[in-house]
Amino acid sequence: PQKTITEAPKSLDIKYMGLVENKTSGAATGLISINGKSFLVKKGEKIEGVLIKSLSSEKLEVKIGKENITVVK
């Protein structure tokens, strides 16, 4: 069973700032902040130990270790 929470673990402060979608290719790039550092991420990338599982205009789904987390914009 998948556990969904809206708060990241205390050691990581993850914020989802937005999504940029290329209309031609359909590729989505998300803008996130982890512990105050900003990153441009794509699905499948791993940044600061955070695996990007999916991006949408409303939310970001990540995996940290064995924990699945949903971060709402």
Over residues 14-68, the pLDDT tens digits come to 999 999 988 898 889 999 999 999 999 999 999 989 999 999 999 999 999 899 9
pLDDT category, 5, cuts 50, 70, 90?
A: low
Average pLDDT over residues 3-17: 70
Q: Write down the pLDDT at residue 62.
A: 95
Question: Is the four-CA dihedral 21, 72, 7, 16 of positive or negative sign?
Answer: positive
Q: Write down the pLDDT at residue 4.
A: 55
Q: Which tokens go with 26? A: 């359909």
